[in-house]
Structure 1
Amino acid sequence: MSFEFPFRVYVEDTDMGGIVYYVNYLKFFERARTELLRAVGIEQFGLQQQGVLFVVHDVQCRYLQSAKLDDELIVEVEIQRISGARICFSQRALRASDNTLLCTAEVVVVSVSAQTMKPVRLTSDLIEKIKDFTV
């Protein structure tokens, strides 16, 4: 099952030509992953209070088409695999009006200790909450 999060493209997201600046897709993907966690009851701030942070370890991104000012987008998030301290996400940005695929990304996030920045295993509770989004 995939998680979907809607966006609208604002001026701040675009370059001088009204095209979404490439790095902003990474911001869109980050927000969608955060909203997936929030939707299942996992707050980033709560994890931080417990001494756990999620950090991006690796990103592979492919830009296919351009989004433009005022476009409505849907960002999809699926979990490819969960192991140890890692969650591997697959994400897609689509234009909502015609389902045109704009950008894809594979993002590896690692759970680390806030004090040492060393990997820490994902809790079984967290895994249980997000498992429905695993492909």
Structure 2
Amino acid sequence: MEVRVYYEDTDAGGVVYHANYLRFFERGRTEFLRERGFDVAAMHNAGTIFAIVSMKIDYRSPARLGDLLEIETEIGEVKNSSFIAKQRVLRRDGGTVLCEAEVTLACIGETLRAKRLPADVRDMLKKGCPGDEPSISVPSEK
């Protein structure tokens, strides 16, 4: 997924503010699901919500005002009620890795308690796990 860095994304020095990478990662995960036929809003309305329970982020190099970024998402481990998304932000010009994250998401219901991943979602996610098929990533359309 492609993202352009706008002034609103940066601090006074024109560098992307660290917390804004969380927004980029959220958009990447949402588009990852959408491109595979799963609308997050519709799932939420039906009582299936994904809550972040853990996130490890490594900031490698700064993104700057005007940069064109690529957000990549692939799936790591999938359990009965959670999964891990491995994500990267790269600068489109040169492919420099700027930021990496490993995000653990739990499937919860309207009561905010853990519940099993819907079978169709779990099956789709497992297709991207190491040891099954090649990783699934979301490249931008060029």
TM-score by length of 2: 0.88
Q: CA RMSD in A?
A: 1.0
List aligned pairs for 1:1-135, cutoff 5 A: 5-114=1-110, 116-135=111-130
Separation (CA, whole Å) in 2 of partners of 1:100 and 1:79 = 21
TM-score by length of 1: 0.92
Are 1:56 and 1:109, in contact at CA under 8 Å, matched by a contact in 2? yes
Separation (CA, whole Å) in 2 of partners of 1:99 and 1:49 = 37
> Could you tell me which amino acid in structure 2 is paired with residue 80 of structure 1?
G
Separation (CA, whole Å) in 2 of partners of 1:6 and 1:109 = 23
User: Sequence identity of aligned pairs in percent?
Assistant: 38
Are 1:40 and 1:130, in contact at CA under 8 Å, matched by a contact in 2? no
Query: Aligned residues, how many?
Result: 130
Shift of 1:83: 0.3
Are 1:37 and 1:130, in contact at CA under 8 Å, matched by a contact in 2? no
Segments of 5+ residues of structure 1 without an aligned counterpart are none
CA deviation vs aligned residue, 1:73-127 (integer Å, no higher than 9, x gap): 011101011101101011111101011110010000110011x111000121112
Secondary structure at 2:121 match in 1: helix
